Copies of this chain bind each other. A is one copy, B any other.
């Protein structure tokens, strides 16, 4: 019996794993699957353009080949730097291969799975390979790309090679088991939100009925580039430290290794570390570091006062841009956008949360009651809201404290963008943020900060309403009172009424101002 079991023992490639579990990559449901394809190629295009310093220009074309068979052809074209021939196959036909996985850099992609996942999905639903046209450094390559699933290796057939002046990548692939729809989970909504968070890019969508929509560029300059940082000492586990040490060839001594490999480690800091770990030899070769020594070093890291990770390594959407986008979409009565400093999670991975809250006005008209728009590194997250730390935080907020009686029913729209060099997604489909304590706390603090602004507005509106009501009530008696006073004092009723009215007017104006200034403190 047990022998039979181990005759069944097999090794599998990551491509086979995700082929069988494509729902883990977000390929579940027809509409969602189509959106995921656009998501993967659009995020890659934006990352490549920004890294090469090119203003992004993206075309997404959805052709319906046979609606009854849920059969579509997708074309995604960008004006990025293109991909050299040497890397084309792996970039599109091998999972866990790419330029992003190992870098401490804010990027949309971070796994090296997405593009190959689309090639896989196309192949398993249609039997077709994926066609790529890449223009890179004067060369234009046309190629067909498939995946050898058993080995997780690309199968590439180069069809054409000639010269080109422009740059860019165009990917064309057929898919079945997908469907185009203009729903909240469809490509249109996805691109609209992408444009909202990325006003420097121009996106054109051609829908199956040939309707063409351009989400135009509204900012003629790429955002500041997030830059690659060195890992911060506070984010390191002993294991991380040993991994870096093991592969450190250029540093002969532990002291120089620490200074050259990690952020904020100066010679002075090394001296502090020396004092904290008197038995550790800082002249030893880094690849001779033991687990125990690494553990002592990590403990020492936590006892030293460090400068925080480089703040400008992270680039949020930005307050002005969020305000412009929100005003544009909702024209709300009131709008609050936070601008908070980056924080770290798991000790030293930098991240930043920006929150925009729009209330009233067009929010109500757009029927967006209790709307939450989630983003990670400026990428819209349309799916898996249920398991996401952002949704969870919104749910556990005590909205009544902010004069929001029932979040679901009030005209309130919340935008939350989490920016990080490594976004902790719950699954390879990258649609929900994992419940990291530090991240959740910062989301909560940011939402609370923005909510206080909304609360001030609502309560001053409420107070103004109360004052107006009181004024009206008192006003009702002024006329009668004036004439009674006039007959008692034998005075002019009209003059008394005027004086009383003036008194009321002044009094309530003053009180309203006092109320406002109290609210603002």
Q: Give A residues with C-beta under 8 Å from B.
A: 1-3, 5-6, 8-14, 16-17, 20-21, 23-24, 28-29, 48, 51-53, 81-84, 86-87, 90-91, 94, 96-103, 111-112, 123-125, 127, 136-137, 167, 237-239, 242, 291-292, 294-295, 384, 386-388, 391-392, 422, 424-429, 432, 434-437
A239 touches B127 (CB 8 A): yes
A387 to B5, CA, bound (A): 34
Determine which of B111, B125, B426 lies in contact with A17 in the assembled complex, contact meaning CB atoms within 8 Å.
B111
Query: Interface centre among A239, A386, A432, by most B CB within 10 Å?
Result: A386
A90 touches B9 (CB 8 A): yes
Point out the residues of chain B lying under 8 angstroms from A429, CB to CB.
426-427
Could you tell me the distance in whole angstroms from the C-beta of A186 to the nearest C-beta in chain B? Answer: 16
Closest to A100 in B: B8
Q: Which 10 pairs show the lowest CB-CB distances between chains A and B?
A: A387-B387, A127-B291, A427-B427, A2-B81, A386-B386, A23-B434, A124-B239, A8-B99, A12-B96, A14-B14
Closest to A290 in B: B127
B387 touches A6 (CB 8 A): no
Known pairs A2-B136, A392-B386, A435-B28; A12 contacts B87 (CB<8 A) = no
Query: Interface centre among A11, A111, A432, A436, by most B CB within 10 Å?
Result: A11
A28 touches B427 (CB 8 A): no
A17 touches B96 (CB 8 A): yes
Point out the residues of chain B lying under 8 angstroms from A238, CB to CB.
127
Point out the residues of chain B lying under 8 angstroms from A242, CB to CB.
127
Determine which of B103, B237, B239 lies in contact with A8 in the assembled complex, contact meaning CB atoms within 8 Å.
B103
A76 to B388, CA, bound (A): 32
A–B pairs, 18, beta carbons within 8 Å? A1-B51, A2-B52, A5-B48, A5-B51, A8-B99, A9-B91, A9-B97, A10-B97, A10-B99, A12-B101, A17-B101, A20-B422, A21-B111, A21-B428, A29-B435, A125-B237, A125-B239, A387-B387
Closest to A17 in B: B96
B52 touches A98 (CB 8 A): no
Determine which of B9, B14, B28 lies in contact with A99 in the assembled complex, contact meaning CB atoms within 8 Å.
B9
Point out the residues of chain B lying under 8 angstroms from A432, CB to CB.
387
A102 touches B239 (CB 8 A): no
Point out the residues of chain B lying under 8 angstroms from A10, CB to CB.
97-99, 101-102, 112
Closest to A12 in B: B96
A11 touches B90 (CB 8 A): yes
A294 to B127, CA, bound (A): 10
Closest to A128 in B: B291
B52 touches A1 (CB 8 A): yes
A98 touches B384 (CB 8 A): no
Could you tell me the distance in whole angstroms from the C-beta of A438 to the nearest C-beta in chain B? Answer: 12
A127 to B292, CA, bound (A): 9
Query: Interface centre among A1, A86, A103, A426, by most B CB within 10 Å?
Result: A426
A1 to B137, CA, bound (A): 11
A48 to B5, CA, bound (A): 9
Point out the residues of chain B lying under 8 angstroms from A391, CB to CB.
386
A426 to B32, CA, bound (A): 14
Could you tell me the distance in whole angstroms from the C-beta of A479 to the nearest C-beta in chain B? Answer: 52
B427 touches A12 (CB 8 A): no
Closest to A97 in B: B11
A424 touches B8 (CB 8 A): no
A437 to B177, CA, bound (A): 13
